[in-house]
Amino acid sequence: MKHCTNLSCLNSNPQPVANFQKSKDSKDKLTKTCKTCIKATEKNTYGHMIQRCYNKSNPNYKNWGAKGVRIFSDWIGIDGYKKWFDYVSKLPHFGKKGRTLDRFPDPSGDYMIDNLRWATGEEQAHNHRRKL
């Protein structure tokens, strides 16, 4: 049985190869990351999203929450993470190295269904909020 090649693997029970997602790392080597590691990474993405939008003490709040950016109400509270994960895990490029969550096509809009994608840094650089 092969093991996850993610150096920060949080999975203490090695997953069978069928549960691995293949991706290329920054040196273009093929890596295999188990679903547990992918979920841990996405849980961080979810937590950072919540903090940016609702925690006034978060240093990034001024660029998100203070500007009125909100999160789809079904993705907050009990079962919020599960519902969010169920949605974002079905979007193209989910779990691919070098992709992060992006509000698209409306970069000024909320974190909502039909306004999210997994994008590269280059794609996000072209997706700026309109200045008023």
* pLDDT of amino acid 37: 56
DSSP state of 26: T
Full DSSP string of 67-102: GT--B-GGGSSTTHHHHHHHHHTTSTTTT-TT-EEE
pLDDT reported for residue 53: 94
Decide if pLDDT at 10 tops 60. Answer: no
Rounded CA-CA distance 76/71 in Å is 7
Q: Which two tokens stand for residue 73?
A: 């109400």
pLDDT for res 96 = 84
Least confident stretch, 14-23, 41-50, 59-68, 105-114: 14-23
pLDDT band at 46 (very low <50, low <70, confident <90, very high): confident
Percentage of the chain modeled with pLDDT above 70: 65
The mean pLDDT value for 81-90 works out to 90
pLDDT at 26: 43
Q: How confident is the model at residue 79 (pLDDT cuts 50, 70, 90)?
A: confident
